[in-house]
Amino acid sequence: MQNSDVIWEKVDLHRSDMIDLSDRVFDMPETLYNEYRSAAEHKAMLEQKGFRITENVAGIPTAVVGEAGDEGPVIAILGEYDALPYLSQEPGVAEPRPIENGGNGHGCGHNLLGAAALLGATAVKDWLEENGIKARVRYYGCPAEEGGAAKTYMVRDGLFDDVDAAISWHPSTFTAVNRPVSLANTRIDFTFHGRAAHAAAAPELGRSALDAIELMNVGVNYLREHMPDGARVHYAYLDAGGVAPNVVQHKATVRQLIRAKDLPELLSIIERVKNIAAGAALMTGTTVEPKVFSGVSNLIGNRPLEEAMQAEMDRLGPIAFDDEDIAFAREIQKTLSKDDIAVSFRRCGMPPPDENMALCDFVAPLDLPNKGGNGSTDVGDVSWAVPTVQARIATCAVGTVFHTWQTVAQGKTPAAHKGMVYAAKVMAATAKRLIEDPALRAQAKEQHAAYLQKTPYVCPLPNGVAPPIIKQAAS
């Protein structure tokens, strides 16, 4: 078995191209299912690096897969490039300064995520070719992670059926193997239909869809006391029925985001929320139409893969940030609270080695508890389909809160690029180890199969639900 530095060198050969890719994707941040330009940039880079390309996977125009190698085990490396709304921000500036008012921004670092994943896949491709090894590496360019559940659609359509293991990462404030805990969730749009009427002259003839939503939200609020710890329900009005208060609103829509610790618990809460919606419709004389917008599963851990990735991180050591990186991180920290900084270490699961730390200069050990809360990801569904492992890699100042302008401001900095390249080395080395070690693959699959035997996978997307594709505007 060759040393890890063989694959690290191949990462370094392509690093400048992928840093450029991450910066270009940053300059064209697009939200879910509208990532046409970003997907095109990733496709162009895949072509440049010699991958076989499949477009429009799972019927999604902004999803692309690149494959290299022949026969043998298949290792998937997952990338993303979608952005978040209203987070436009000039890079490298430690104050709120939108490039475009109301514009989008990479508030979760997905410009870095996709570029590093492609960099890692390219390094594995070179290593396979140079050594005549029978195996395949497959880069998945995944849109719409921020609530669109693209990977769930990919899993449902069989895109991972022949994959032996999947590897990914996420930008973070610390460096560690990702703790495989996330919340399963679904987003359901509840559209209420009533009857319009003159709100002053004949209100008795009206049946208000907006009233129904208000009552539904009251019911969900009372449900919160009776949900399991860790479960969450959030909502957003998609259509409040118009801007005329003198018209009884005959149609209105609310999106309910329901989260739970796992799929069985999620399915139970969904039924209770649907019953509340039906009750609100009954009380208001309206009808309700629920429509699933997206859904993702909780993450499943895989101990053999986590130990393998940890070994590669320990071998690589911490990221070498320089004085300029630390200086800018301190400027960002001036915009944060003490609680923000404390949460970074709670999520990492360890007390701060240095209370004044600006950038993470350590690799956290396995098995530290996350005490900072959990989100959701469509990587969860991949982890039900195949053994999966992820890394958390420091790309920004300790205390940075994601989904904020501060994250976007740091997305093109030298520190972010260092973390991105580090992530590529960790993923490529883990993939190399999986290809070289059939016993590791077997152990990972055995643990995965044992979990599924106890808790079978139920896709959170009902049959017939299609991705909410946004058609590309004509140029």
pLDDT digits (tens, 9 = 90+) for 87-98: 999 999 999 999
pLDDT digits (tens, 9 = 90+) for 7-66: 999 999 999 999 999 999 999 999 999 999 999 999 999 999 999 999 999 999 999 999
pLDDT higher than threshold 80 for residue 473: no
Q: Is 331 exposed, middle or buried (0-12, 13-18, 19+ CB in 10 A)?
A: middle
Helix (H) or strand (E) holding 79: strand 74-80
pLDDT of 7 reads 96
CA distances 464 to 102, 156, 391, 460, Å, are: 33, 11, 33, 12
Pairing of strands 287-296, 176-177: unpaired
Residue 474 pLDDT grade (very low, low, confident, very high; cuts 50, 70, 90): low
pLDDT higher than threshold 80 for residue 346: no
The stretch 367-383 carries a mean pLDDT of 85
The stretch 399-420 carries a mean pLDDT of 97
pLDDT higher than threshold 90 for residue 339: no
213 vs 238: CA distance, rounded Å: 11
What domains, with CATH codes, occur in the chain? 5-182+299-454 (3.40.630.10), 184-295 (3.30.70.360)
The stretch 62-79 carries a mean pLDDT of 97
pLDDT of 373 reads 65
Question: Distance from CA of residue 450 to its chain's centroid?
Answer: 26
pLDDT digits (tens, 9 = 90+) for 122-166: 999 999 999 999 999 999 999 999 989 999 999 999 999 999 999
pLDDT of 266 reads 95
CB 216 within 8 A of CB 276: yes
Q: Which residue has the tokens 């910066």?
A: 23
Number of C-beta neighbours around residue 309 at 10 A: 26
pLDDT of 374 reads 80
Quote the mean pLDDT of the chain: 95
Q: Which residue has the tokens 């973390």?
A: 419
113 vs 174: CA distance, rounded Å: 15
Residue 297 pLDDT grade (very low, low, confident, very high; cuts 50, 70, 90): very high
